[in-house]
Structure 1
Amino acid sequence: MVSAVFHSPELTPSPSGGGLGWGQAAAVVPAPATKAVGEVAPTPALPQRGREPSAKMPYDWRSLWLKVVPPILGFAFLIGIWAIVAIKTGSSFPSPLETLKQAIEVFSDPFYQKGPNDQGIGWNVLSSLKRVGMGFGMAALVGIPLGFMIGRFTFLSRMFNPLISLLRPVSPLAWLPIGLMVFKGANPAAIWTIFICSIWPMIINTAVGVQRVPSDYMNVARVLNLSEWKIVTKILFPAVLPYTLTGVRLAVGTAWLVIVAAEMLTGGVGIGFWVWDEWNNLNVKNIIVAIFTIGGVGLLLEFALIRLATAFTFEEVKV
């Protein structure tokens, strides 16, 4: 139905001031349309909007530059210094290219076994990791609960703090002769050395975490009359977990550092003994390969523990 609006000429308003006079513009408003029985009113068409192109975020090239380029430059600097030293010393020190060829040969069959003293680098790394796991595991079983008790009770803190301050600065290798004398074997002596050097970071960090729990938490526990078990499991453990994981990271790094030196002195199978054996054979290329292997395994352990700490804590964990 077509509707129209009619306008009259624009005149002056009516002097009486009421209603519409001849001087006003009049508009005829159409009456609502009536539809026949059974007739369906047409649905008004909605205005079509064109699709707006999705806005694309610009790629952060600066972030990529800062993440990728500095490590590449660091490795390039190391290789450059290495190449200069190799050129200056002549054939006595292998170049990076010669070491790379030797590494490819070593890792082409890392698990060969031709006798108790002639095994691939893979077996030696696994043996070292086994010793580290045993010593580190026992240190965690003893150190973490002891750290909780030292941080929780003032009497135990005053009792053990002088002992920790006395024994912690001792070099880990100084404990190796004690282990050899007590355990009468190289393997348990190495595990003992890992244990004694790994326990201190876990004790100290756990105790510090317990002592830094807000006093309001403990006041609420006293008001609710919670048992000691609930205080430890519901209040202390969640609050202390970031500190404990930091101690674990420090401990495993120290353990992997110490096992290489311990195996050099005790012999047997292990990456430390492999390095010492290659030195006796004057095979400097294998020594450098072992150095990078030790660093790579330590880096993987550190990365795994960072991922673990990130999964169980709300704080951002950084190296």
Structure 2
Amino acid sequence: MKSLDFKAALVSLLLLGVFLGIWFAATQPSGGAAAQSAGGAAGMTAEQIEYQKMMGKDPGSQKTTGFPTLGQMGAAMAKQLSDPFYDNGPNDKGVAIQLGHSLGRVALGFLIACAVAVPLGFVIGMSPLLHKAFDPFIQVLKPISPLAWMPLALYTIKDSSVSGVFVIFICSVWPMLINTAFGVSSVKREWLAVASTLEVRPLRRALRVILPAAAPTILTGMRISMGIAWLVIVAAEMLVGGTGIGYFVWNEWNNLSLTNVIFAILVIGVVGMMLDLMFARLQKMVTYVE
């Protein structure tokens, strides 16, 4: 198993090296472009140089247009990570502060969804009547894009941050609810029969028999919900603005800083991977292996 993990790590590093090599080769200026850019500033008027600076470009640099090079990306990442907690006003905050706002909204909306979906999923999973009664509503509401709720949330709540939490809640609740109900309804009949024979009380049966048996399925629903929530919060923050990693991406795009946009994309991906690994570890802990 360790040998397989080692080989997989080598393949991953090889793929990363290939990707970075392609990036490096694709962003190298051609000979003519390099010569032109070297003397570009000297051949510009003062008005042209000022216009280039207004557009976020450096007229004297070797590469003023196109996709950023690996060197430019490295410089941007070093600058962002050197002081991730700076706060220079509403539109100029460090990436750690923006990330904290996003994680806070995701955590709050996700916890509220857990408080609603898990108990309700238990009730639906234990009652065939309620399962059939709730199923039409779940099937109608589940396919609706979470962002479609944003205008209604902004109109009724009138607070962009709270509206973002509501959107996280509405997108997180359905996978958890469906997986909880499925896990509860799939508990082996033999285990429930033994609990009935021993005259176990309903609450004790739910906590000591049904919950441990359904826990892997419930954690699967939570894992799916967290992945969706992290996807949605970025788009929601682009719409409502203010704070958050999604707003950071949109603000840097408006500032014509493609390097910071790519850096934020990498941060979003790394944080999403860490959240998924956390739920994968929890799921493995509650899974019974015969």
The answer to whether the superposition gives a TM-score over 0.5 is yes
In structure 2, the residue matched to 1:138 is 112
Pairing of 1:222-301 with structure 2 (within 5 A): 222-301=196-275
- Counterpart of 1:69 in structure 2 is 10
Is 2:83 aligned against 1:109? yes
**How far off its partner does 1:105 sit?**
0.8
What is the CA deviation profile of residues 188-242 of structure 1, one whole-angstrom value per residue up to 9, with x for unaligned ones?
1100000000011111111111111111112222222322112201110010011
Asked if residue 80 in structure 1 is aligned to residue 21 in structure 2, the reply is yes
Change (3 A) 1:262 1:85: farther
Q: Per the alignment, do residues 165 and 81 of structure 1 end up closer, same or farther by CA in structure 2, a change over 3 Å counting?
A: farther
Match of 1:153 among 94, 102, 127: 127
- 1:145 aligns to what SS in structure 2? helix
Residues in 1 aligned to 2:289 and 2:233: alpha-carbon distance in whole angstroms: 31
- Give the deviation of 1:124 after TM superposition: 0.1
With 162-171 and 187-196 compared, the bigger mean Cα shift is at: 162-171
Cα distance change, pair 72–236 in 1 and its aligned pair in 2 (3 A): same
Q: Equivalent residue of 2:264, what SS?
A: helix
Whether the 8 Å contact between 2:212 and 2:286 is mirrored in structure 1 is no
Which of 216, 231, 252 matches 2:190? Answer: 216
**Whole-Å Cα distance in 2 between the matches of residues 219 and 172 of structure 1?**
41
2:130 and 2:73 map into 1 onto residues whose CA distance is: 53
CA drift of 1:84 comes to: 4.7
Q: 1:148 to 1:81 in 2, by over 3 A?
A: farther
> Unpaired segments of 5 or more residues in structure 2?
31-62
Q: Aligned to 1:274, what secondary structure does the other structure show?
A: helix
TM-score between both structures, scaled by the size of structure 1: 0.76
Distance 1:250 1:196 in 2: 13
Give the aligned partner of residue 203 of structure 1.
177
- Label 1:233 to 1:100 Cα distance change in 2 as closer, same or farther (>3 A): same
Q: Larger % of helix: which? A: 2
Match of 2:162 in 1: 188
Structure 1: runs of 5+ lacking an equivalent? 1-59
Shift of 1:300: 1.2
Q: Secondary structure at the match of 1:92?
A: coil
CA deviation after TM superposition for structure 1 residue 155, in Å: 1.1
Evaluate the alpha carbon distance shift between residue 208 and residue 84 of structure 1 in structure 2; reply closer, same or farther with a 3 A threshold.
farther
- The one-letter code matched in structure 2 to 1:183 is I
Q: How many residues align?
A: 257
Q: 1:95: Cα distance to partner?
A: 1.8
The structure with the larger Rg is: 1
Determine helix, strand or coil for the equivalent of 1:256: helix
Residue 88 to residue 210, structure 1, CA distance change in 2 (3 Å): farther
Which amino acid is the alignment partner of residue 135 of structure 1?
G
- CA deviation digits over 1:167-194, x for unaligned, max 9? 1111111111111111011011100000
1:174 matched to 2:148: yes
Partners of 2:18 and 2:184 lie apart in 1 by 44
The percentage of counterpart residues that share the same residue type is 41
Q: 1:61 to 1:307 in 2, by over 3 A?
A: closer
* Structure 1 residue 85, shift from structure 2 partner: 4.5
Letter in 2 for 1:229: L
